[in-house]
Structure 1
């Protein structure tokens, strides 16, 4: 998650010059995120709209929660690794960096639930009964120095309280594994399990991607292959801008398509990277090594890997998903530009082959 930024009016007499430099730096960052030469439109695959789930790490988990509550009709489950509860930041970066990451003070789960119910009642997010029967899987490493235990406890408490509004909403919490602020894998890619460092994948001997999909969709019908067998494709994210609006994403995203998903309807897992884990920061480490692709081969799933971009205007130098408001005040509602972009992407995947 983002750990830099300030609020309020600067008093430095050189503020204007600093803003010029920030804009210039943002232009450099945007240039570095130019589309891949082979980026194509997102393929039309006729995906199964009844088998769509989200899994995210850190800011990706925060965004996954926002998508789940804004559009419960689109998803049957969500996997959250070290993510804060919905609405925690309240549009305030300082709250995001304090209460919603360090847990000092701990997020007020009861107040957040009341706000969620009010938002659902006035249509800013989806009707809460749309969560009925969904599955929520939450994971946090006990050695995580970035997102505190109290924060993830609040995420779990909020979802469990929402089960009163959505019969059959199932919440599972795995908080007893010793790993840092990263996504554990059963491979050797990434860093040592107890570390917190780029590319924020850990060689932990634990397949978090597989565990998440087991919890959300049930066990795979067979063992995943030793190596991914499908195609990892670059696609043009700008082609999906909602109404032409800038969604503050990279020009290029990725989608993994198992061979069988070219011939029959498959489900979708939206895999959401964390801060400093986008392709601009870690290359293809997350989209190749996080563990989702092998699981997708065994489960008839397409994997959508949207990519954010770093910027200084608005202030998002670590390419986090928007969970505090840099894209606008409606960032965590149905009107949020990144959420509208995601809806457009899922619609594109659902087009008939």
Structure 2
């Protein structure tokens, strides 16, 4: 291992925020809901954005809609941490979007990811701030260009909707309602009070305009044991406890959509408590749309090296991390099926 590689690993480890470990009761299993397979989306911030695009490409039949905040193109890292830290965060060199689109097509044809034609009616929303210094606007724009080129060069995808929202001034965080002094910063819990309701815009992009404005969240935020969903017993590098928000209408048995919300690095519950799962703004909009929100949680580790509890978008969980064989993606499939999403979708 060369000196530069070691230096990068140390640099990543030193960025770790210790956080306070939350003692939580994992609770029971996920509730069985009456899932509406036509209203399903994956969303995420930063590493969660990369995870969302991986879920979208690996299992488009399950997750046809995706919203990415401060993320880059699918397959960007290519299983290499140094590429992830350089090209896929700093944009040096810029990601080769055309090559990534070609690779995605080949991987789809080989069955490593899903059939691209399942994205025919997808809604794709890409949000990033002009003041983001961690994942630069160049990288986020490459994420948008990936979907645009995928749409334009893949037969049958002309109806895919791609919305690139990259002209808002905020740093590396998820914008939330209200004003504050953290919009131009990237500080825990990475919810920037920018006067822009990103969660509301994400729901509108994924599911159409709302019927009415949201009030306070009135559903139930439940915890569940994530270990029961390990694929074939394999360690998916998840925390013991995950969360799911269930609107009252969903709990009452009405058809329920689903949003899977992936936190960013250092934004899991062990690092920021329940800030992301309660305050990101998704829950109150979930009530309006009749959509459950699944909040899966990763865990930090040094073996494999993931001290910031990021989602795997560079290969710490194995070489097949961004394919249908990836352990975290297979865990996710188990989770949504446990919630009631039909296995045939």
Q: Provide TM-score, normalisation by structure 1.
A: 0.89
Structure 1, unaligned stretches of length 5 or more?
Answer: 11-17, 23-28
For the residue of structure 2 that corresponds to 1:64, the secondary structure is: helix
Give the gaps of 5 or more residues in structure 2: none
Match in the other structure for 2:69: 81
**TM-superposition CA deviations, 1:97-116 (whole Å, max 9, x none):** 00000001100000000100
Contact 2:5-2:82 at 8 Å conserved across structures: no
- Cα RMSD after superposing both structures: 2.2
- Over residues 307-350 of structure 1, what are the superposed CA-to-partner deviations in whole Å (9 max), with x where a residue is unaligned? 00000000000000000000000000000000000000000111
Which stretch has the larger CA shift, 254-263 or 320-329? 254-263
Rounded Cα–Cα distance in structure 1 between residues aligned with 2:308 and 2:140: 21
Q: Which moved more, 1:95-104 or 1:41-50?
A: 41-50
2:46, 2:71 within 8 Å by CA — same for their partners in 1? Answer: yes
Residue 294 (structure 2) aligns with: 304
Question: 2:199 is paired with a residue of what secondary structure?
Answer: helix
Secondary structure of residue in 2 paired with 1:210: helix
Answer yes or no: is the 8 Å Cα contact 1:142–1:179 preserved in 2. yes
Report the CA distance between 1:171 and its aligned residue.
0.5
Match of 2:201 in 1: 211
Alpha-carbon separation, structure 2, partners of 1:55 and 1:95: 23
Instruction: Give the structure 2 partner of residue 247 of structure 1.
Output: 236
Equivalent residue of 1:73, what SS?
coil
**Which residue of 222, 231, 235 corresponds with 2:224?**
235
Indicate how the Cα distance of structure 1 residues 212 and 245 shifts in structure 2: closer, same or farther if over 3 A, else same.
same
Runs (4+) off by over 3 Å: 5-10, 31-34
CA distance in 2, matches of 1:137, 1:307: 23
Q: Shift of residue 32 of structure 1? A: 4.4
- Trace 1:27-176 onto structure 2 (pairs within 5 A): 32=21, 36-37=24-25, 39-164=27-152, 165=154, 166-176=157-167
Deviation, 1:191, is 5.7
1:186 aligns with 2:177: yes
Q: Distance in 1 between matches of 2:22 and 2:269?
A: 9
* DSSP 3-state at the match of 2:213: coil
2:36/2:341 contact within 8 Å kept? no
* Partners of 2:25 and 2:241 within 8 A in 1: no
Name which of 309, 320, 327 aligns with 1:319: 309
2:26–2:242 contact (8 Å) kept in structure 1: no
TM-fit CA distance, 1:187: 3.6
Aligned twin of 1:262 = 251
CA–CA separation in structure 2 for the residues paired with 1:119 and 1:8? 31
Which deviations, in whole Å up to 9, do the C-alpha atoms of 1:133-168 show, x marking residues without a partner? 101000111111101111111111110111132231
Aligned pair count? 329
